[in-house]
């Protein structure tokens, strides 16, 4: 027997073993069912390694050409769905290597010189994840653009701003939407930042200690577009904190998605009626004929649970691992894959849904009028007339109580009635008691005044266009 993975159908590694793996152990330890997703990254990494081996005089020109030809065929087979993945070959790496050897012979067996599956898999995951980071960055930009564009049409649309889900102060719908743009912009920053740490090359660490072969790691890094090398071989094969960072980013981003989804569900309920969603994002009920349910938003909220769960899984996976590589690390893939897929699908569908949302401005304004949203403005008005703010707060509470008793808004009280609470109140008070007066007054940076919100929209547009 030899260490050729093809030599023995039951054992992919060496002649040391005297009995085949049980079928159960084979199934338990194999990862090819899911890590085949890394196939393209694996081939790209192998080609860069082979090219470098040749440049270093370790691999002959013919061997390099054979490897290139074999890999091109393997790629084509995989893309066409014709590649025969074998469970007994355990993972994506051994499957591709075995096929390569079958196609081109000894060159395939020379490819693994100076390399281990430990630095190979770490390289593959990083290469793959880097590509996904870029795809997600584009989706995050789309999500932000959809919100910014909707906001552009609603700088004058008044809605109740809530704290404790109680009407607090009037805000524009645009201002509310831009709060989410800020969240997603920070998510994009986090993603760009963690990508720098994903984009480091483990190859050359070999199994754990480095290799005696005179490899040119910088050359491989350049070929594969890595910004830096991993500088400690033990760390290179065992570190998965780049995956933890990604999962943390994905979790935070999904939490933002989930909050927006929850608001959409609330806004669409009959009791608020702030927005309506296009039918294509809703489902009906099999028993209640009148129902249109915001399933997409609810699922976005629900799927947040699995992504947060993946972060917990990865943290737990790492916490007890001694240096260096342990097979535990094979378990990093499914949580990562599912986090990427869930986040990507959710961002895509939510951006679309937001873009098609019908806004019921009149319902928003009615709701803002119901909750004494301008009470703070009356207190500020009194404070500007010299009343200490705490006293003004008390006076306005009494005025609100009187308005509630009569079932009217503050602005519906007469000047004489208002002056009954404080004689310093003048006829100019009615400007601050309107929803728009309240909004316009908050014109400082970050406030809800339309002019300020329009400036923020322009800032976001310029930022997104430059990205």
Site string for ligand ARG, 47-76 (x = CB under 6 A): ------------------------------
Residue 41, interface with ligand ARG (CB under 6 A)?
Answer: no
| 18, 164, 212, 271: the active-site residue | 164
Catalytic residue among 2, 14, 269, 285: 285
Q: Is residue 144 close enough to count as binding ligand ARG by CB under 6 A?
A: no
**Residue among 35 and 263 whose Cβ is closer to ligand ARG:** 35
With binding defined as CB under 6 A, does residue 442 bind ligand ARG? no
Rounded to the nearest whole angstrom, what is the least distance from the CB of residue 296 to ligand ARG in the complex?
Answer: 34
Q: Decide: is 211 part of the binding site for ligand ARG (CB under 6 A).
A: no
Q: Which listed residue (11, 31, 157, 211) binds ligand ARG by CB under 6 A? A: 31
**Residues 72-101: x where in contact with ligand ARG by CB under 6 A, - otherwise, as a string:** -------------------x----------
Among 98, 121, 343, 357, binds ligand ARG (CB under 6 A): 121
Q: Which two tokens stand for residue 225?
A: 């577009």
**Between 10 and 406, whose beta carbon lies closer to ligand ARG?**
10
285 as an active site residue: the answer is: yes
Task: Report, in Å, the least distance between residue 51 CB and ligand ARG.
Answer: 22
**Helical axes 117-152 vs 173-198, angle rounded to 10°:** 160
End-to-end CA, the chain: 56
The residue (of 121 and 432) whose beta carbon lies closer to ligand ARG is 121
One character per residue 295-334, x = contact with ligand ARG (rule: CB under 6 A):
------------------------------x-x-xx----
Measured from the CB of residue 301, what is the shortest distance to ligand ARG in angstroms? 32
Task: Examine the residue annotation and report whether 164 is marked as an active-site residue of this protein.
Answer: yes
Query: Smallest distance from the beta carbon of 237 to ligand ARG, in angstroms?
Result: 9
CB of 324 or CB of 369, closer to ligand ARG: 324
Nearest distance from residue 267's CB to ligand ARG, in Å? 44
Q: Give the shortest CB-13-to-ligand ARG separation in angstroms.
A: 8
Nearer Cβ to ligand ARG, position 91 or 409?
A: 91
Binding residues for ligand ARG, rule: CB under 6 A, are 31, 35, 91, 117-118, 121, 325, 327, 329-330
Residues acting as catalytic residues: 164, 285
């Amino acid at each position: 027997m030899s260490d050729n993975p093809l030599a023995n159908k039951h054992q992919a590694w060496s002649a040391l073993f005297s009995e085949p793996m049980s079928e159960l152990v084979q199934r338990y330890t194999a990862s090819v069912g899911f890590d085949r997703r890394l196939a393209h990254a694996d081939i790209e990494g192998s080609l860069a390694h082979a090219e470098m081996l040749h440049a270093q005089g370790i691999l002959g020109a013919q061997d390099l050409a054979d490897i290139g030809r074999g890999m091109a065929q393997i790629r084509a087979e995989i893309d066409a769905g014709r590649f025969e993945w074998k469970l007994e070959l355990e993972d994506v790496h051994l499957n591709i290597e075995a096929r390569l050897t079958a196609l081109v012979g000894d060159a395939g067996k020379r490819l693994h010189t100076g390399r281990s599956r430990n630095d190979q898999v770490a390289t593959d995951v990083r290469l793959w994840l880097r590509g996904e980071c870029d795809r997600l960055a584009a989706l995050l930009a789309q999500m932000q653009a959809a919100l910014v564009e909707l906001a552009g049409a609603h700088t004058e649309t008044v809605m109740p701003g809530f704290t404790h889900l109680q009407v607090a102060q009037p805000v524009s719908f645009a201002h509310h939407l831009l709060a989410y743009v800020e969240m997603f912009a920070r998510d994009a920053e986090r993603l760009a930042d963690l990508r720098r740490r994903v984009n480091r090359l483990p190859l050359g660490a070999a199994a754990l200690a480095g290799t005696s072969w005179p490899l040119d790691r910088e050359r491989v890094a350049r070929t594969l577009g890595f910004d830096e090398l991993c500088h400690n071989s033990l760390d290179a094969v065992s570190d998965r904190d780049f995956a933890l960072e990604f999962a943390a980013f994905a979790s935070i981003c999904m939490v933002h998605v989930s909050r927006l989804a929850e608001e959409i569900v609330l806004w669409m309920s009959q009791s608020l009626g702030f927005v309506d969603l296009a039918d294509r994002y809703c489902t009906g009920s099999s028993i209640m004929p009148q129902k249109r349910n915001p399933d997409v938003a609810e699922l976005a909220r629900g799927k947040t649970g699995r992504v947060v769960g993946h972060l917990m899984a990865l943290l737990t996976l790492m916490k007890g691992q001694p240096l260096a590589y342990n097979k535990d690390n094979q378990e990093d893939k499914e949580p990562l894959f599912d986090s990427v897929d869930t986040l990507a699908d959710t961002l895509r569908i939510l951006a679309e849904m937001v873009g098609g949302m019908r806004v019921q401005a009149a319902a928003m304004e009615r709701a803002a009028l119901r909750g004494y949203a301008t009470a703070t403005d009356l207190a500020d008005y009194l404070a500007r007339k010299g009343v200490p703010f705490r006293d003004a707060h008390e006076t306005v509470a009494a005025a609100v109580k009187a308005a509630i008793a009569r079932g009217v808004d503050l602005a519906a009280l007469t000047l004489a009635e208002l002056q009954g609470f404080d004689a310093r109140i003048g006829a100019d008070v009615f400007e601050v008691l309107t929803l728009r007066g309240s909004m316009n007054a908050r014109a400082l940076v970050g406030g809800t005044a339309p002019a300020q919100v329009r400036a923020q929209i322009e800032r976001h547009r310029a930022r997104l266009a430059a990205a």
